[in-house]
């Protein structure tokens, strides 16, 4: 536990905060968070932060309780484990998930924390983390798909003071940067993270000055209490006291084993919600472990809850005691070191599908299909014609699941803030040409509301190099709900310029590519919701006209086309739909497209890839 | 005598300002807008203002016009049927966009994305390809394209956009397709992306060009109608249209590139503010234009507004320069509510609009609005809008605000004051974006309040920002028309030219700037100006090699002649100022631009008569108000009777035809020589 050094020993006085002032301060914090974001994206250099926006700000109170941010407070996990002093002017840096209880979940994420002082007293923490494109290790991008220990993943930075009382520890930074393949990106992104955290610091100090520090700190307490009341009400109104169970799977681990089960029981006790991951598989020998921070998980759950049930609520972690998360040590979600962690993105995506399913089962009106299914990573590295190293790291998007409000979006991001990288930017700065950038017809699961279509990107390589891929949902399906069908699974095909083509596994490194080779990278389609033959004909027509649905695909909706294969034969369609309705009996809540055993059995035939063998778990 | 006429078409009224060039004397008039054909109100207005001021129409040499025709076409979805031609493999360029889902984690659960402005069924893929360096990778397959065109003919598209990949580097294929379209679909207006906005980023270039097509026909027809009528009534008059960037375009240029007109309305207000600020002797001003549903703010420095390289209208963001106006959904009509779950007071962005409007207007509105809160607190007296048609009913306002008071267990006045505090805070957020976030200290700026509700809230916003004095111009409700009449022709030409400084050839750079200069001045010459009338400046968009953002810096050919050192150092300084750090990395040039403007108007605003300093002659009544938690009495003053040098001690209310000014306790308003009220702490 860090010792906080304060020159001013006076305690904060709790004062009454009128409700208007409370709202003013809450707005001030939201503004501060937005400013932190905008500064980071404008000044960072790596495409993953500057274009795709993989960076997240947090503002907490003095005790590390989150007041603004989306991924949970990293601060308490961080200061609890840091055993020196915290002084004015210090800036902390870490990339070690094990040293901050999973506040960041792989070593590519660098976390900067600044203690905010006002007149000699600690009032807030301002923190920012961002994904570094490379931190060394055995493969470019530092995310080896076959890593069995953290030591293969590049540099881990334990919690350190990178600024001591305002002074940058240049030597330390030098050591870190010497371990990175493109140090100028790390340096610039690090600068951007610090600058963004400093903006948060300045905004907090301004608020304390403007309102008076006692009023300000009292208001922060009241904001937490207010949020607790709001979430308690949602939990009481929407969650069941019955034990609800859901399990889902990660397809494989990159070294030939799978699927891995993530299983959760959820139930309500009074105003508290319990999540028990006891039935989840043990930790993997490979890199797909996800050190799930309790703080982050609760924030995911609460954020998702307000999106489904009441988007008006502004979230902080005042609700914290209302949720309890039980994760067994040594499991996939609480691995023991030195387990490799870099491929945690699959479990993170799957956690969202699990949360969504648990809430939806508890309250079926709000049930969404699956679709937070993967966060496909693509890496391409080598040396260009000027012998300069290039490293492209891209996060892809797929089909957003169908929702109670309507269709899922085609080829859009499920992550907050993320955007794609302009293809003209890619072609200007990397030896690559994008031959196709489109969504895949029929890939969204059919349903009254259809799942979003997945993306197809055709990468034409113009320089010799190596590629890496991290993806999932190639074997298990993004499930449909309430009669909706699953979405189409992900798929990668490499067409060699020398002739021949090969299906690439979803998790692979060091695939050598030659100029002229073409990678066709297909991402997952979202699951559908509701019976497909209840879909409005106008919607089917729009999809046909727009090319989101093919003439053959229309039949899945119980729609018969005229001989032009474009317009709908309404009479024949009505007849078909009537007979389909008559034949429908019980509609299951979920459609997984098969049991894990069935999917493994059909694997080679359907995907062209070897099926994974059952995981072997080592004792840890 | 020669006159220039400024016309601003708003949602409810069309405002006109007639300026006598010789001495700057100003006549104003207001007529009801005619939304079905806005040009009718313009002509009605011209008739009225000439009659009222006894001026012959043929004495008007210039008509300058701010229009929301383009804006409304986008906002209401009433643009043209647009066909789109893209590169094969990129048909869904608009549908996919940047793959962005707003709303934070889980935002996808509730996000509803609007359909593309050019439908996919009218989107064709051309077989062709350029490289990012501008080399032909695949030649254009003309025959295949011609075979596909009947789809667009059958769909009766009204405009076509051609937006191909990497056309920023080489527009040959886009131009060739335009030629083919002219043959195959004669008479249909065509926009090509390499001409509308020749900059990198395919989605942004495509959406910008599609919007140009989308608003083109309606804008074109509007301008043509107006031009014809003006020619008939006052032959030889020059029509200028105010662009989003605050400059004027000739009617031809405006019709060809209507995407540049999306912010024409707000830009007029800013242009008016620039004029007023200059006349009053202030060169650092934040503008605060508060209307019924939203508030626009902008920052003026050295007599010019900050510009930015994009324009936002509703969900649509395009790459077109616009005055950096930030808009917040906070206005007089913003509705206050208390969500049950949190019990927090929220104001806006929902608005009661013009219909039913605030409860106080008695036109069926029942929800509590900001205007109702102002009425309850006494800031908007029941007899406030002198000469206006609006009746104010305090009992209806009180009844509406009562809902908030009950929900929060507050007194009526406390609830109303809470609504005002929250809406002020929201607007403060916008002012902060244009000042603090841009590295500017708001305390170094004055704050100009205008629009229907700006003068009511400006004093409070100055307290929050520390920006003094507050400037309330004369006729704060018609400032936009003032802007239209006092601004100048402006045109810019740009191109992408990506080079790191280490390998940048300054000679080539200077050559490009000279080429851009020719393109920039051409439309101005076409409007009859001489080369000497045009002032040209050059700009470079720069960044540290590897960054995504860029900063725009002005540059001169003389400076470039000595190399890049000066520019490089200025970039470091600016980066440090904005983002707290500079980097040792190499810099990179992204875009080049030449901006041509015509000479400014030299007229001066007229003075008002000097008084004794005592405004007693203008005092018409007193009014009970609730302010700072206490009941007070405020004097009500008639603005038209105020004289230069008069000092009005707050709390006080100043009323005029279309606006009401609130001077808070411990503040004093002084009338300056031009008739502006300058409010400062006492």
Domains detected in chain B: 76-214 (3.40.50), 334-424 (no CATH), 426-480+606-681 (no CATH), 490-598 (3.30.1490)
Question: Does residue A392 lie in a domain region?
Answer: yes
A287 shares a domain with A244: yes
Å between A197 CA and nearest CA of chain B: 11
Provide the pLDDT for residue B386.
Answer: 43
Going by DSSP bridges, is the β-strand pair B295-301/B470-472 parallel, antiparallel, or unpaired? unpaired
Per-residue confidence (pLDDT) for residue A197, from 0 to 100:
94
What's the pLDDT tens digit per position in B48-67?
A: 999 988 998 888 988 888 88
Decide which of A179, A197, A230 is a domain's last residue.
A230
How confident is the model at residue A620, as a pLDDT? Answer: 64
Give the pLDDT of residue B78.
Answer: 85
Could you tell me the pLDDT band of residue B387, with boundaries at 50, 70 and 90? very low
A43, A50, A314 ranked by CB distance to B579: nearest? A43
Q: Give residue B390's pLDDT.
A: 62
C-alpha distance from A438 to closest chain B C-alpha (Å): 6
Helices (H) and strands (E) in chain A, counts: 14, 24
Q: Of A186, A210, A230, which closes a domain?
A: A230
- Which tens digits make up the pLDDT trace of B177-212? 999 999 999 999 999 999 998 888 999 999 999 999
In terms of domains, do A518 and A581 share one?
no
Distance CA(A21)–CA(A218), nearest Å, equals: 11
Which has the minimum average pLDDT: A312-326, B90-104, B153-167, B475-489? Answer: B475-489
Section A46-50 average pLDDT: 76
What mean pLDDT is predicted for residues B567-594? 87
Question: Given this model, what pLDDT does residue B220 score?
Answer: 93
Higher-confidence residue of B350 and A355: namely A355
Q: Which residues of B touch A70 (CB under 8 A)?
A: 104-105
- Domain-embedded: residue A617: no
Asked whether the beta carbons of residue B583 and residue A191 sit closer than 8 angstroms, the reply is yes
Confidence of residue B602 (pLDDT cuts 50, 70, 90): low
- For A439-456, what is the mean pLDDT? 98
Same domain, A61 and A81: yes
In which domain, by residue range, is A467 found?
239-292+327-531+587-607
Boundary (domain end) residue, out of A185, A211, A230: A230
Average pLDDT, chain B: 89
What's the average model confidence in pLDDT over B530-543? 91
Q: Global pTM?
A: 0.87
Q: Which residue has the higher pLDDT, A326 or B674?
A: A326
Q: Are A451 and A484 in contact (CB under 8 A)?
A: yes
Let me know whether A128 and A212 are in one domain: yes
Kind plus residue range of the DSSP H or E element containing B525: helix B506-526
pLDDT digits (tens, 9 = 90+) for A394-436: 999 999 999 999 999 999 999 888 889 999 999 998 999 999 9
DSSP conformation class of A595: -
**Does residue A335 sit in the same domain as residue A437?**
yes
pLDDT in tens, B313-339: 777 899 888 998 888 888 888 999 987
Q: Note whether A526 and A557 are same-domain residues.
A: no
Indicate whether A475 and A575 sit together in one domain: no
The number of domains in chain A is 3
Q: Which residue has better confidence, B326 or A520?
A: A520
Structure tokens at A204: 């907090």
Nearest of B436, B446, B442, B467 to residue B577 by alpha carbon = B436
Kindly state whether residues A185 and A56 are assigned to the same domain: yes
> Which residues make beta-bridge pairs with B542?
B551, B589
Q: CA of A45: which chain B residue's CA is closest? A: B547
- Per-residue confidence band for A443, with pLDDT thresholds at 50, 70 and 90: very high
**Cβ distance of A422 and B201 shorter than 8 Å:** yes
pLDDT tens-place string over residues B336-371? 998 776 678 888 878 887 678 889 988 888 999 999
pLDDT tens, position by position, B439-467: 678 888 999 999 889 999 999 999 999 99
Percent of chain B with pLDDT strictly greater than 90: 53
CB contacts, 8 Å: B408 with chain A:
19
- Select the more confidently predicted residue: B303 or A165: A165
pLDDT of residue A296: 86
Cβ pair A116, A125 in contact under 8 A = yes
Across the interface, whether the CB atoms of B546 and A42 are under 8 A apart is answered no
Tell me which of B657 and A248 has the higher pLDDT. A248
Average confidence (pLDDT) over B139-166:
97
A591 in the same domain as A569: no
Per-residue pLDDT at B341: 64
Contact B321, B245 (CB under 8 A): yes
What's the pLDDT score for residue B12?
Answer: 65
Same domain, residue pair A361 and A440: yes
Which of B106, B426, B428 is the mutation pick for testing A, counting most A CBs within 10 A? B106
* d(C-alpha A27, C-alpha B348), whole Å: 14
Task: Determine which of A38-47, A147-156, B525-534, B536-545 has the lowest per-residue pLDDT on average.
Answer: A38-47
From the list B104, B345, B426, the residue facing A70 with the nearest CB is B104
Q: Which two tokens stand for residue A185?
A: 């990106």
- Computed on alpha carbons and rounded to an integer, the radius of gyration of chain A in Å comes to 25
Matching residue, tokens 């603090």: B436
DSSP per-residue letters across A22-64: HHHHHHHHHHHHHHHHHHHHHH--SHHHHTT--EEEEEEETT-
Are A459 and A474 contained in the same domain? yes
Q: Which chain A residues in 161-190 lie under 8 Å from chain B, judged by CB atoms?
A: 184-185, 187-188
Kindly provide the ipTM of the predicted complex, given to two decimals: 0.92
The verdict on residue A105 lying in a domain is yes
How many other β-carbons are positioned within 10 Å of the β-carbon of residue B30? 22
pLDDT band, very low/low/confident/very high, at B397 (cuts 50, 70, 90)? very high
Position A280 in a domain: yes
Q: Is B261 helix (H, G, I), strand (E, B) or coil?
A: helix
**A209-213, A398-402, A500-504, B25-29: which range is least confident on average?**
B25-29
CA gap B428, B678 in Å, rounded: 20
Please answer yes or no on whether B109 and A368 come within 8 Å at the CB atom: yes
Same domain, A187 and A140: yes
pLDDT of residue B11: 64
Give residue B437's pLDDT. Answer: 67
In a domain? residue A184:
yes
Specify if A79 maps to a domain: yes
């Amino acid at each position: 536990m860090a010792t906080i050094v304060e020159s001013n020993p006076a305690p904060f006085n709790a004062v009454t905060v009128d409700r208007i002032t409370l709202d003013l301060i809450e707005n001030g914090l939201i503004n501060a968070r937005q400013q932190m974001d905008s500064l980071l994206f404008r000044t960072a250099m790596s495409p993953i932060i500057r274009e795709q926006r993989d960076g997240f700000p947090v503002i907490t109170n003095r005790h590390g309780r989150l007041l603004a941010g989306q991924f949970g407070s990293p601060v308490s996990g961080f200061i609890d484990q840091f055993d020196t002093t915290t002084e004015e002017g210090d800036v902390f840096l870490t990339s070690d998930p094990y040293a901050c209880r999973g506040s960041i979940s792989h070593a590519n994420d660098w976390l900067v924390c600044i203690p905010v002082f006002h007149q000699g007293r600690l009032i807030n923490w301002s923190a920012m983390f961002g994904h570094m494109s490379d931190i060394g290790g055995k493969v470019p991008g530092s995310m080896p798909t076959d890593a069995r220990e953290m030591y293969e993943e590049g540099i881990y930075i334990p919690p350190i003071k990178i600024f001591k009382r305002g002074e940058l520890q240049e030597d330390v930074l030098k050591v870190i940067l010497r371990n990175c393949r493109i140090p100028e990106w790390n340096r610039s992104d690090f600068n951007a993270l610090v600058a963004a955290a400093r903006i948060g610091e300045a905004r907090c100090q301004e608020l304390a000055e403007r309102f008076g520090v006692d009023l300000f700190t009292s208001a922060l307490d009241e904001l937490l209490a207010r949020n607790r009341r709001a979430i308690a009400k949602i939990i009481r109104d929407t969650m069941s006291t019955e034990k609800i169970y859901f399990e889902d799977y990660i397809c494989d681990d990159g070294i030939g084993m799978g699927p891995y089960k993530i299983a959760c029981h959820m139930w309500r006790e009074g105003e508290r919600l319990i999540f028990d991951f006891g039935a989840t598989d043990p930790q993997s020998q490979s890199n797909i472990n996800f050190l799930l921070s309790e703080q982050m998980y609760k924030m995911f759950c609460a954020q998702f809850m307000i999106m489904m049930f009441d988007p008006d609520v502004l979230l902080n972690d005042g609700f914290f005691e209302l949720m309890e998360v039980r994760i067994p040590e040594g499991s996939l979600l609480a691995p023991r070191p030195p387990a490799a962690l870099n491929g945690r993105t699959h479990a993170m995506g799957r956690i969202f599908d699990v949360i969504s399913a648990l809430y939806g089962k508890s309250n079926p009106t709000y049930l969404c299909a699956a679709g937070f299914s993967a966060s496909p990573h693509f890496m391409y590295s080598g040396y260009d014609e000027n012998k300069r190293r290039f490293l492209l790291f891209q996060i892809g998007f797929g089909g957003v699941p169908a929702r109670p409000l309507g269709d899922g979006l085609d080829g859009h991001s499920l992550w907050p803030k993320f955007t794609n990288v302009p293809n003209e930017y890619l072609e200007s700065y990397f030896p690559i040409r994008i031959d196709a950038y489109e969504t895949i017809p029929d890939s969204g699961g059919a349903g009254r509301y259809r799942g979003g279509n997945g993306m197809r990107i055709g990468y034409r390589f113009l320089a010799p190099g190596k590629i890496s891929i991290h993806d999932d949902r190639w074997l298990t399906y993004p499930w449909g709900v309430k009669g909706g069908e699953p979405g189409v699974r992900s798929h990668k095909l490499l067409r060699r310029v020398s002739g021949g083509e090969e299906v690439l596994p979803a998790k692979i490194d060091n695939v050598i590519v030659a100029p002229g080779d073409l990678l066709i990278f297909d991402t997952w389609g979202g699951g559908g919701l509701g019976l497909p033959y209840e879909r409005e004909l106008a919607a089917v027509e729009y999809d046909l006209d727009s090319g989101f649905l093919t003439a053959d695909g229309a039949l899945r909706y119980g729609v018969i086309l005229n001989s032009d294969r474009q317009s709908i034969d309404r009479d024949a369609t009505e007849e078909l739909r009537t007979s389909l309705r008559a034949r429908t009996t019980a509609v299951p809540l979920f459609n997984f497209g098969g049991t894990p055993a069935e999917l493994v059995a059909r694997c080679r035939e359907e995907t062209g890839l070897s099926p994974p063998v059952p995981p072997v778990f080592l004792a840890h | 005598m020669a006159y220039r006429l400024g016309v601003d078409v708003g949602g409810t009224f069309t405002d006109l300002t007639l300026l006598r060039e010789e001495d700057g004397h100003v006549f104003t008039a207001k007529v009801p807008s005619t939304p079905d054909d806005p040009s009718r109100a313009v002509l009605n207005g011209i008739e009225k203002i000439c009659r009222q001021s006894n001026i012959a129409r043929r004495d008007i040499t210039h008509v300058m016009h701010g229009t929301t025709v383009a804006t409304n076409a986008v906002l209401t979805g009433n643009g043209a049927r647009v066909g789109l031609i893209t590169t094969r493999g990129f048909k869904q360029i608009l549908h996919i966009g940047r793959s962005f889902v707003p709303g934070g984690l889980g935002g996808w659960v509730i996000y509803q994305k609007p359909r593309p402005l050019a439908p996919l069924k009218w989107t064709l893929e051309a077989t062709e390809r350029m490289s990012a360096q501008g080399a032909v990778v695949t030649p254009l397959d003309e025959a295949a394209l011609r075979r596909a065109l009947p789809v667009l003919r059958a769909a009766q598209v009204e405009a076509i956009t051609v937006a191909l990949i990497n056309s920023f580097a080489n527009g040959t294929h886009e131009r060739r397709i335009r030629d083919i379209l002219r043959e195959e679909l004669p008479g249909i207006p065509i926009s090509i992306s390499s001409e509308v906005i020749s900059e990198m980023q395919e989605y942004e270039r495509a959406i910008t060009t599609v919007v140009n097509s989308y608003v083109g026909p309606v804008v074109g027809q509007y301008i043509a109608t107006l031009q014809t009528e003006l020619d008939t009534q006052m032959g030889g008059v020059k029509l200028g249209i105010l662009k989003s960037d605050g400059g004027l375009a000739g009617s031809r240029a405006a019709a060809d590139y209507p995407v540049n007109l999306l912010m024409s309305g707000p830009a007029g207000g800013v242009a008016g503010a620039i004029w007023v600020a200059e006349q009053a002797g202030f060169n650092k001003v934040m503008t605060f234009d508060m209307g019924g549903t939203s508030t626009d703010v902008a920052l003026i420095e050295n007599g010019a507004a900050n510009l930015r390289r994009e324009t936002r209208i509703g969900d649509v963001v395009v790459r077109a320069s616009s005055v950096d106006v930030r808009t917040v959904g906070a206005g007089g009509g913003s509705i206050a509510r208390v969500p049950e779950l949190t019990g927090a007071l929220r104001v806006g962005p929902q608005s009661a609009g013009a219909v039913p409007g605030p409860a106080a207007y008695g036109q069926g509105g029942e929800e509590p609005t900001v205007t109702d809160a102002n009425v309850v607190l006494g800031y908007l007296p029941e007899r406030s809008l002198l000469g206006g048609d609006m009746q104010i009913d305090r009992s209806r306002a009180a009844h509406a605000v009562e809902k908030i008071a009950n929900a929060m267990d507050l007194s009526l006045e406390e609830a109303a004051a809470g609504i005002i505090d929250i809406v002020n805070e929201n607007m403060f957020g916008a002012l902060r974006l244009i000042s603090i976030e841009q590295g500017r200290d708001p305390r170094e700026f004055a704050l100009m309040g205008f629009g229907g509700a700006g003068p009511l809230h400006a004093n409070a916003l100055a307290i929050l920002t520390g920006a003094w004095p507050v400037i309330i111009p004369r006729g704060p409700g018609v400032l936009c028309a003032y802007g239209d009449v006092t601004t100048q022709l402006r045109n810019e030409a740009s191109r992408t030219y990506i080079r790191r400084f280490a390998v940048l050839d300054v000679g080539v750079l200077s050559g490009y700037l000279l080429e851009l200069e020719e393109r920039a001045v051409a439309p101005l010459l076409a409007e009859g100006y001489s080369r000497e009338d045009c002032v040209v400046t050059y700009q470079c968009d720069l960044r540290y090699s590897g960054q995504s953002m860029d900063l725009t810096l002005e540059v001169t050919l003389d400076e470039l002649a000595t190399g890049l050192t000066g520019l490089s150092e200025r970039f470091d300084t600016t980066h440090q100022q904005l983002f707290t750090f500079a980097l040792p990395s190499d810099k990179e040039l992204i875009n080049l631009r030449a901006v041509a403007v015509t000479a400014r108007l030299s007229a001066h605003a007229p003075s008002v008569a000097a008084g004794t300093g005592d405004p007693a002659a203008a005092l018409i009544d007193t009014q009970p108000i609730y302010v700072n938690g206490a009941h007070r009495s405020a004097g009500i003053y008639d603005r038209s009777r105020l004289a230069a040098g008069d000092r009005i001690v707050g709390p006080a209310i100043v009323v005029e035809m279309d606006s009401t000014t609130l001077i808070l306790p411990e503040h004093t308003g002084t009338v300056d020589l031009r008739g502006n009220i300058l409010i400062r702490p006492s």
